[in-house]
């Protein structure tokens, strides 16, 4: 969920009014955004955006655009409230071109760009542009993997700009935040930003570079800008904004969002052409074939560009999903409030429907249901009356839940306090403290290990409840004895015959700590459990398990209805070595039963 910080002053000037905090809170809910407190002492508001498919809302301009459209649209005749961005229809400046080298096709194939001017950059605008860039790269662009955006001082650039691969040893420039000239290797190895993103280039021997016709370097893509062309200063009035990546659709949307935001912030946008010596993504080309020209040897692409295809939905589908009949004009007005203009069409089955024109800064209409949601929000949730679901269904718990409750009731009757423990733990707790050294490797082999743990304290999924019970006993010595505790929960053990290589079991573990407690006590407990759960055919076999004292512990064997014997648990006196490992000075007996084995 991206969070953005925006200038209250800029926000309200774009909105054209000053809302109260409560009004703002309510208005933001219709764009799935939240604000938790008024502006801070620097006049900045923090807003959290929940819809990850609407990157157009991750800026002050985007939020203002949506809120004012929603608020000011009162009737269908008022088409002009839908934001218009005329630069999409303008011709590119043919002098401004980015020429792409063929070698980029297998590295980072696309670069798109536009320029802005007509207004001097001030501090607020600079912060805003950097925030738009950052949110689009980090959140929408998956930390620059899919999309990275660069901003440059256009007044110093000699067109055309070249996008090519460079030798990392011989190519050098001064990157942002240093004064030293470094070669590309050194940037990735020593510069903080270089180190952070070095993995994006690790599999390539030559690195993507943007430079102008005078060989001035703009940036090492997608790592860092040059300290001269790429360090925007207050007062600059012409900027180049480009993005690179491998998913053309994501890049097109990124440019459209950024250009629309710049327009809203008062800049003039000029489209830029990029020239490729290879064909572009076919899926995308289909939707904007009129805007690109294929020459014999290369393809020209001009951006920003309206690339979205129109989408349709039938009135019937809208009414069904919204649970209420809604007229065409109500639907069109609701959509218009969301900034979406539409026209009436007969749909495929000759029912009435609407076709929407997708706003250039949005690409979240994958399916007709996405239009229906905009209709719903446009109408407002107050429009709908809550109704209880009507279908009759029978409620029930799982079989294992019914059994679990019976077992827990018996344990409570036997004087046990039920506990609930976390399922993740450490090798120390689950293995080292529990098993004799010779058995540890085998125990670990049975356990599910996490390959990317937060810390070694949460590295294993438990395969037994026993270590949790002992850990609990370790911290509970101040509670009056005897201690009788139990837990009923899940454990996971490896099992090669399973599709997932493991199985999840429901285990009931129990432990008694007392100064005079031994095998006979827990044996009686076990007999009581089996008696009341109504299992008659079971017996004990000697257990060889270093967690218990040999000869005072057993395997619990159940004879199944078909005659086969199945181990359903273990129990006995906990070995003093184990107690010592947990710093427990009270004798303990414990056991564990697999509930699936009792069904």
- Residues between 509 and 538 that touch another protein (CB under 8 A): none
Exposure pattern of 374-407 as b/e (b: 16+ CB <10 Å)?
bbbbbbeeeeeeeeeeeeeeeeeeeeeeebbeeb
Kindly tell me which of 297 and 349 has the beta carbon lying closer to another protein: 349
Spell out the alpha helix ranges (H) of 55-191: 60-72, 123-135, 184-190
- Binding residue (CB under 8 A) for another protein from 123, 420, 536, 564: 420
Q: What part of residues 358-377 is at the interface with another protein (CB under 8 A)?
A: 366-370, 372-373, 376-377
Among 235, 395, 561, 563, binds another protein (CB under 8 A): 395
For the segment 324-343, give every residue that binds another protein (CB under 8 A): 324
Least Cα distance to 258 among 233, 235, 238, 241 occurs for: 241
Name the residue nearer to another protein (CB basis): 10 or 447: 447
Which range binds another protein by CB under 8 A, 109-117, 231-239, 314-322, 514-522?
314-322
Distance between CA atoms of residues 110 and 146, nearest Å: 11
Q: Which stretch binds another protein (CB under 8 A): 114-122, 215-223, 390-398, 563-571?
A: 390-398
> Min. distance of Cβ 202 from another protein in angstroms?
15
Residues between 28 and 67 with contacts to another protein, criterion CB under 8 A: 29-30, 32, 50-53
103 is a site residue for another protein (CB under 8 A): no
Cβ burial of 185 (10 Å; 0-12, 13-18, 19+) is middle
Characterize 567-596 residue by residue with b for buried, 16 or more Cβ atoms within 10 angstroms of its Cβ, and e for exposed. Answer: ebbbbbbbbeebbebbebebbbbbbbbbbb
The nearer residue to another protein, 167 or 399, going by C-beta atoms, is 399
Q: Name which position in 61, 252, 419, 595 contacts another protein (CB under 8 A).
A: 419
Taking CB under 8 A as the rule, does residue 169 contact another protein? Answer: no
Residues 445 to 504 in contact with another protein, rule: CB under 8 A: 448-454, 458, 461, 468, 471-473, 475-476, 478-480, 483-485, 488-490, 492, 499-504
d(CA 222, CA 217) in angstroms, rounded, equals 13
310: contact with another protein by CB under 8 A: no
Give all strands (DSSP E) within 182-295, no chain letters. 182-183, 207-211, 217-220, 224-225, 239-245, 268-276, 292-294
The H-or-E segment that residue 471 falls in is: helix 466-475
| String of contacts with another protein for each residue 229-268, x by CB under 8 A | ------------------x-x-------------------
Q: What are phi and psi of 82, to 5 degrees?
A: -65, 125
Instruction: Give the nearer residue to another protein in terms of CB position, either 6 or 469.
Output: 469
Q: How far apart are CA 460 and CA 574, in angstroms?
A: 22
- Residue 586 interacting with another protein (CB under 8 A): no
Q: Does 576 bind another protein (CB under 8 A)?
A: no
Within 137-166, the residues that bind another protein by CB under 8 A are 139-140, 142, 146
Q: Which of 202, 182, 199 minimizes the C-alpha distance to 190?
A: 182
> Are the beta carbons of 239 and 268 closer than 8 angstroms?
no
Confirm or reject binding of residue 561 to another protein (CB under 8 A).
no
């Amino acid at each position: 969920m991206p969070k953005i910080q925006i200038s209250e002053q800029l926000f309200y000037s774009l909105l054209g009014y000053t809302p109260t905090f409560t009004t703002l809170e309510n208005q933001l809910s219709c764009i799935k955004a939240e604000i938790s407190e008024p502006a801070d002492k620097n006049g900045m508001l923090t807003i959290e955006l929940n819809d990850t498919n609407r990157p157009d809302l991750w800026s002050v301009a985007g939020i203002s655009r949506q809120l004012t459209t929603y608020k000011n649209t009162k009737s269908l005749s008022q088409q002009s409230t839908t934001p218009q961005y005329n630069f999409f229809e303008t011709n590119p400046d043919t002098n401004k071109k980015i020429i792409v080298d063929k070698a980029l096709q297998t590295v980072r194939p696309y670069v798109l760009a536009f320029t802005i001017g007509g207004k001097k950059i001030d501090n607020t605008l600079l912060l805003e542009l950097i925030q738009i860039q950052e949110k689009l790269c980090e959140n929408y662009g998956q930390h620059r993997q899919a999309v990275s955006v660069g901003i440059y001082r256009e007044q110093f650039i000699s067109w055309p700009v070249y996008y090519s691969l460079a030798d990392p040893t011989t190519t050098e420039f001064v990157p942002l935040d240093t004064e030293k000239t470094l070669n590309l290797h050194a940037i990735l190895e020593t510069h903080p930003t270089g180190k952070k993103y070095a993995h994006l280039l690790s599999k390539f021997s030559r690195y993507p570079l943007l430079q102008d016709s005078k060989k001035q370097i703009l940036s090492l893509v997608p790592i860092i800008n040059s300290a001269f062309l790429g360090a925007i200063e207050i007062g600059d009035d012409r900027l180049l904004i480009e993005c690179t990546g491998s998913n053309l659709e994501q890049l097109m949307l990124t440019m459209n969002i950024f250009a629309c935001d710049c327009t809203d912030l008062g800049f003039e946008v000029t489209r830029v052409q990029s020239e490729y010596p290879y064909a572009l993504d076919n899926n995308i080309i289909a939707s904007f074939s009129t805007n690109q020209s294929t020459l014999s040897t290369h393809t020209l692409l001009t951006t920003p560009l309206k690339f979205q295809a129109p989408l349709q939905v039938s009135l019937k589908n809208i009414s069904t999903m919204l649970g209420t009949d809604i007229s065409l004009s109500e639907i069109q007005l609701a959509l218009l409030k969301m900034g979406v203009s539409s026209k009436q069409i007969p749909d495929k089955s000759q029912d009435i429907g609407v076709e929407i024109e997708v706003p250039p800064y949005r690409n979240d209409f994958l399916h007709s249901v996405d239009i229906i949601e905009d209709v719903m929000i446009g109408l407002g949730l107050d429009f709908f009356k809550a109704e209880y679901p009507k279908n009759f269904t029978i409620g029930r718990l799982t079989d294992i839940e019914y059994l679990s409750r019976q077992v827990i009731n018996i344990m409570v009757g036997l004087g046990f306090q039920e506990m609930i423990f976390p399922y993740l733990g450490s090798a120390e707790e689950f293995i080292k403290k529990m098993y004799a050294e010779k058995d540890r490797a085998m125990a670990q082999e049975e356990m599910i290990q996490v390959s990317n743990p937060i810390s070694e304290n949460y590295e294993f999924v438990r395969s037994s409840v026993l270590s949790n019970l002992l850990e609990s006993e370790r911290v509970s010595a101040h509670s009056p004895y005897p201690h009788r505790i139990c837990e009923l929960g899940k454990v996971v053990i490896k099992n090669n015959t399973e599709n997932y290589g493991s199985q999840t079991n429901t285990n009931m573990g129990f432990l008694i700590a007392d100064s005079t407690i031994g095998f006979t006590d827990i044996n009686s407990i076990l007999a009581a459990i089996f008696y009341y759960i109504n299992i008659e055919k079971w017996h004990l076999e000697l257990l060889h398990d270093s967690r218990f004292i040999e000869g005072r512990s057993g395997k619990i064997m159940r004879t199944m209805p078909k005659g086969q014997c199945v181990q359903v648990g273990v129990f006995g006196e906990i070995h003093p070595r184990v107690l010592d490992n947990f710093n427990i000075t009270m004798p303990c007996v414990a056991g564990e039963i697999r509930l699936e084995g009792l069904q």
